[in-house]
Chain A
């Protein structure tokens, strides 16, 4: 029999501590839609997405009602579009517009997969797709784009890194009138996971089944509240408390994913164990670190606290789900986290500290607003640094920078919704241009030779 305090605990988590399912993401393979004629290819893409994802949103809403747990987003991820461009040629933006129409037809919040995987080099379609990203993001609303430029196995493709610096800048310029929103939908990866349900980096990897349901949970507020209740205890107890909480959060994800998969008749893929913050007060990863005893996130000790948090979340979550995947760790997107925004605004949180933090948590330099006059080479160099951390540590790292066109230190960009708002953060000004212009590849590290 269920007892009263268990029931109240669950309800408090949902009502007061912002426990929610961040996303149910349906992965759809578009490999069978490739055609030599881009218009035929687009028609097949539209037909397949609207057929398979037709019931995704109503099913999500029904589950939300039945279990009383909010499901914030319903999303779709598709095969990297560069693979379709390889077969069809033509203007890749046609695919972006087709995907946008399909996303609107089925009513999802985001559709990811306007992507290319170029960690070792450019294949047919890759470069054309990458060069079209700024236009695609400016002319669509729901489409998200990602490019994988490095991996532990392949090393770092520095030609792609150089190109992505330009693409990020161009995306910002093309959407300068809308707070450079294009860049919020573009992420540059090293070691990109193929089953990630979170945006902007979700795509449906070529090793995935035809159609699959992945779930991303969220619950920084629940973890913070649990630590508050734990009071003055040592860090072993802190880690145990986080593990127990992560277990409960992940069980929600497992339940919702299994139910959605059953109702849609689509196999269940993975639960992503990430702690994903939102700009809402009380839903912040930074505030968890502060609850552990840091005066403010970004001060000395932040990396250690985050390492403990990230590890405990995984240990707690992994037993709660039959298959764990995606990014699975704590996210630290600056603009999407009330505590991070406050820490950045008061100067406690710098980009250097964030870079160190990315070595011990999931993802990377995420949703960071940088001065509008930042050069493409500097952006490329930041991407290269972050990719190097991912490559050497055999982990996923990513960069999602937003050059605030026409703005400087002290200004703020407002995106609204889940994307939040962020102060412009200072970067180093000496030029890395000569290093970036060399191009070529950074060889894979020794730890790639595991066979």
Chain B
């Protein structure tokens, strides 16, 4: 099972490091990272493997949202199925 973590907001030092740390703490393996400036916003998208988490998916999602709030970024953690079902037939 994989999840997509998206981070959107103003660029600053250490975003990737801090997000990765939260993922590592939950034993979520980062598979892929894409970073870009699109539609006038900084966007980072991380694909993480959440099949062997040491906490619940909801807990990881809450931790990442809290990190986002601290840094003034919008962070969403969503199951990859939502994107697959919307954009793939």
Q: Does B29 contact A (CB under 8 A)?
A: no
Name the CB-closest residue of B to A62: B58
Q: Does A5 contact B (CB under 8 A)?
A: yes
Q: How far is the CB of A260 from chain B (nearest CB, A)?
A: 13
Given A66-B57, A68-B76, A68-B77; A4-B36 close (CB under 8 Å): yes
* Inter-chain contact B4/A8, CB cutoff 8 Å: no
* Inter-chain contact B85/A251, CB cutoff 8 Å: yes
Name the CB-closest residue of A to B81: A255
Q: In the complex, which residues of chain B have a beta carbon less than 8 angstroms from the beta carbon of A10?
A: 82-83, 86-87
* Inter-chain contact A8/B38, CB cutoff 8 Å: yes
Q: In the complex, which residues of chain A have a beta carbon less than 8 angstroms from the beta carbon of B84?
A: 2
Describe B's contact surface by its main secondary structure. Answer: strand
1/0 per residue, CB under 8 A from A, across B49-84: the answer is: 000000001100100000000000010111111111
* Inter-chain contact A2/B83, CB cutoff 8 Å: yes
Q: How many residues of A contact B (CB 8 A)?
A: 22
Q: In the complex, which residues of chain A have a beta carbon less than 8 angstroms from the beta carbon of B4?
A: 2, 7
Q: How far is the CB of A405 from chain B (nearest CB, A)?
A: 45
Distance in angstroms between the alpha carbons of A2 and B81 in the assembled complex: 10
Interface size class of B (residues with CB under 8 A): 20 to 34
Distance in angstroms between the alpha carbons of A10 and B80 in the assembled complex: 11
Name the CB-closest residue of A to B80: A2
Q: How far is the CB of B17 from chain A (nearest CB, A)?
A: 21
Distance in angstroms between the alpha carbons of A9 and B43 in the assembled complex: 12
* Inter-chain contact B57/A11, CB cutoff 8 Å: no
Quick one: which of A11, A67, A251 contacts B8, CB cutoff 8 A? A11
Q: Does A65 contact B (CB under 8 A)?
A: yes
Distance in angstroms between the alpha carbons of A254 and B32 in the assembled complex: 28
Describe A's contact surface by its main secondary structure. Answer: helix
Quick one: which of B36, B83, B85 contacts A254, CB cutoff 8 A? B85
Q: In the complex, which residues of chain A have a beta carbon less than 8 angstroms from the beta carbon of B87?
A: 2, 6, 9-10, 248
* Inter-chain contact B82/A68, CB cutoff 8 Å: yes
* Inter-chain contact A65/B83, CB cutoff 8 Å: no
* Inter-chain contact A66/B76, CB cutoff 8 Å: no
Q: In the complex, which residues of chain B have a beta carbon less than 8 angstroms from the beta carbon of A251?
A: 85-86
Q: How far is the CB of B67 from chain A (nearest CB, A)?
A: 16
Q: How far is the CB of B53 from chain A (nearest CB, A)?
A: 12
Distance in angstroms between the alpha carbons of A427 and B87 in the assembled complex: 47
Distance in angstroms between the alpha carbons of A5 and B39 in the assembled complex: 10
Q: In the complex, which residues of chain A have a beta carbon less than 8 angstroms from the beta carbon of B61?
A: 65, 68
Quick one: which of A1, A11, A67, A69 contacts B6, CB cutoff 8 A? A11
* Inter-chain contact A7/B6, CB cutoff 8 Å: yes
Q: How far is the CB of B8 from chain A (nearest CB, A)?
A: 7
Interface residue ranges of A62-110 to B (CB < 8 Å): 62, 65-69
Q: Does B45 contact A (CB under 8 A)?
A: yes
* Inter-chain contact B86/A252, CB cutoff 8 Å: yes
Q: How far is the CB of B32 from chain A (nearest CB, A)?
A: 8
Distance in angstroms between the alpha carbons of A68 and B86 in the assembled complex: 13
Given A2-B84, A8-B38; A68-B78 close (CB under 8 Å): yes
Q: In the complex, which residues of chain B have a beta carbon less than 8 angstroms from the beta carbon of A248?
A: 86-87
* Inter-chain contact B58/A8, CB cutoff 8 Å: no
Distance in angstroms between the alpha carbons of A15 and B36 in the assembled complex: 19
Q: In the complex, which residues of chain A have a beta carbon less than 8 angstroms from the beta carbon of B39?
A: 8
1/0 per residue, CB under 8 A from B, across A10-27: the answer is: 110001000000000000
Quick one: which of B43, B45, B82 contacts A69, CB cutoff 8 A? B82
Name the CB-closest residue of A to B58: A65
Q: How far is the CB of B88 from chain A (nearest CB, A)?
A: 9
Distance in angstroms between the alpha carbons of A254 and B84 in the assembled complex: 12
* Inter-chain contact A6/B43, CB cutoff 8 Å: no
Q: In the complex, which residues of chain B have a beta carbon less than 8 angstroms from the beta carbon of A254?
A: 85
Quick one: which of A5, A8, A62, A255 contacts B82, CB cutoff 8 A? A255
Given A65-B57, A68-B76; A4-B82 close (CB under 8 Å): no
Q: In the complex, which residues of chain B have a beta carbon less than 8 angstroms from the beta carbon of A7?
A: 4, 6, 45, 83
Distance in angstroms between the alpha carbons of A7 and B41 in the assembled complex: 14
- 26 A-B pairs with C-beta separation under 8 A: A2-B4, A2-B47, A2-B83, A4-B36, A4-B45, A5-B38, A6-B83, A6-B86, A7-B4, A7-B45, A8-B6, A10-B86, A10-B87, A11-B6, A11-B8, A15-B74, A62-B58, A66-B57, A66-B78, A67-B79, A67-B81, A68-B76, A68-B79, A69-B82, A248-B87, A252-B85
Cβ-closest 3 pairs across A and B: A68-B78, A6-B87, A67-B82
User: B residues near A, CB below 8 A?
Assistant: 4, 6, 8, 32, 34, 36, 38-39, 43, 45, 47, 57-58, 61, 74, 76-87
User: A residues near B, CB below 8 A?
Assistant: 1-2, 4-11, 15, 62, 65-69, 248, 251-252, 254-255
**Beyond the given A1-B32, A5-B38, could you list 15 further A-B residue pairs with CB under 8 A, ordered by the A residue number?**
A2-B4, A4-B36, A7-B6, A8-B39, A62-B58, A65-B61, A67-B79, A67-B82, A68-B76, A68-B77, A68-B79, A68-B82, A69-B82, A248-B86, A252-B85
